[in-house]
Amino acid sequence: MSTSTPGRPGLSKPLLWGVRAALLAVSGLASLAAAEIGLRAADFGFAMYPQAIQFGYPDPDSMRSEFELDEQLLWTPKRYDQLLERARRRKPQLVLMGCSCTAWGEFDKNLLRELRESRGVVEEAREDGEPPESLGVRIENFAVPGWSSYQGRQQLVRDVLPLAPKVVTLFYGWNDHWIGFGVEDDAAGELVEGVKESVLEKHRDLRVVQAWAKLRMAFARGGNDARPLRVPLDKFEANLREMVRLAKAQGVQTVLLTAPTNVRAGDEPNYLAQRHLPDVTQLVPIHASYVEAVRKVAREEQALLCDLAAHFDTLPAEELNKLIMKDGVHFTRAGGRRVGRLLFECFRDNGLFERMQ
């Protein structure tokens, strides 16, 4: 019995379906190629990197050279695995967590300097490349530039609590209240995870793939053109509260730090306009609300609070400007030393050095 198809002598049904599938595949590839050419001609581009969430640092260049995608943390330094392995080996009693303020502020070195001076101990610099320590106190600085409390919560669960430290400091807030790329950090985490685990990661330079990612981002936003904050105030508070509770459940003492600033209403840095806040006049009140949220969580969860912002707010403008950079966010070298002293006093007065022995 013949299996040929009427009108197409000599072609069996399976072969006909194969031909149709091949034609469809060729047609689809041709359409994608045409779309790719058209998008490139139109100079379309969409960065499939989490650097776009934060309109400051890391920027696209540093994101490519210094950081890499992480499906849970959005991004990490390229040597993050080495840092984590070293921490597992050293078994630190104290882990510092936070954003660039902690990453670049040298709080660990300054805190240990204060501890040595208080006990009249002189220690030579280590020659093995290991972080400094004093009187057996081992500290690891796990802070990462550009991070929000969303990333901190993920890091605490995945990487920090398994180290079984005695004390963890939490310094977040600045990146939380910058405007996002189009979705909040928790939603961005889901998008990054989807890209990381798919074939798209290997083809992210194709414009058609970038167009797909942009459409997916648009659907995630639900058609809302307004860019939300990376971590809204209620979620910021919830993240801190969850971190405190998770740490407490494993016998880890959390120390919440408030973020000082030298910015005053009417004198906001121009670089914040549009990239970080839609209206820079929002900076002072919104930052104050996030600082107050840290105090609220510490009070209600009975966590230790080192209120850096309260101390810096008492200083005259001339002195304050020597401790905080012109960006209103980061500490100068002198500012980092001041934070080290305040942390030392906070730890000493609350018996944390004894807890870390």
What's the rounded mean pLDDT across residues 140-149?
A: 95
Give the per-residue SS3 of the chain: CCCEECCEEEEEHHHHHHHHHHHHHHHHHHHHHHHHHHHHHCCCCCCCCHHHHCCCCCCHHHHHHHEEEECCCEEEECCHHHHHHHHHHHCCCEEEEECHHHHHCCHHHHHHHHHHHHHCCCCCCCCCCCCCEECCEEEEECCCCCCCHHHHHHHHHHHHHHHCCCEEEEECCCHHHCECCCCCHHHHHHHHHHHHCCHHHHHCCCHHHHHHHHHHHHHHHCCCCCCCECCCHHHHHHHHHHHHHHHHHCCCEEEEECCCCCCCCCCCCHHHECCCECCHHHHHHHHHHHHHHHHHHHHHHCCEEECHHHHHHCCCHHHHHHHECCCCCCECHHHHHHHHHHHHHHHHHCCHHHHCC
- pLDDT, the chain, mean: 83
pLDDT surpassing 90 at residue 199: no
Question: Does residue 117 form part of some domain?
Answer: yes
The letter for the amino acid at 34 is A
Flag whether 139 is in a domain. Answer: yes
Inside any domain, residue 40: no
Q: If phi over 0 gives left and psi between -120 and 50 gives alpha, with beta otherwise, what is residue 79?
A: alpha
pLDDT digits (tens, 9 = 90+) for 229-245: 899 999 999 999 999 99
Largest CA distance in the chain: 102
CATH of the domain at 137: 3.40.50.1110
Taking a C-beta distance cutoff of 8 angstroms, is the pair 147, 101 a contact? Answer: no
**What is the pTM for the complete model shown?**
0.77
The sign of the CA dihedral 239, 105, 160, 246 is negative
pLDDT per position as a tens digit, 75-88: 899 999 999 999 99
| Domain carrying residue 327 | 92-181+231-355
pLDDT by residue (tens digit) across 177-197?
998 766 677 776 665 555 554
Cβ–Cβ contacts within 10 Å for residue 163, how many? 18
pLDDT band at 330; cut points 50, 70, 90: very high
- The arithmetic mean of pLDDT across residues 311-335, rounded, is 97
In a domain, 3, yes or no: no
In a domain, 67, yes or no: no
Residue 96 is assigned to a structural domain of this protein: yes
pLDDT at 36 exceeding the cut of 80: no
How many angstroms separate the CA atoms of 288 and 293, rounded?
9
Burial call 306-331: b when 16+ CB within 10 Å, e when fewer? bbbbebbeebeeeebeebbeeebbbb
Nearby residues of 275 by Cβ (< 8 Å), 6 or more positions away = 55, 56, 179
The count of structural domains within the chain is 1
pLDDT higher at 121 or 335: 335
- The pLDDT-based confidence of 55 (bands split at 50, 70, 90) is very low
The whole-number pLDDT of residue 34 equals: 75
Does a structural domain hold residue 330? yes
Whether 348 maps to a domain, the answer reads yes
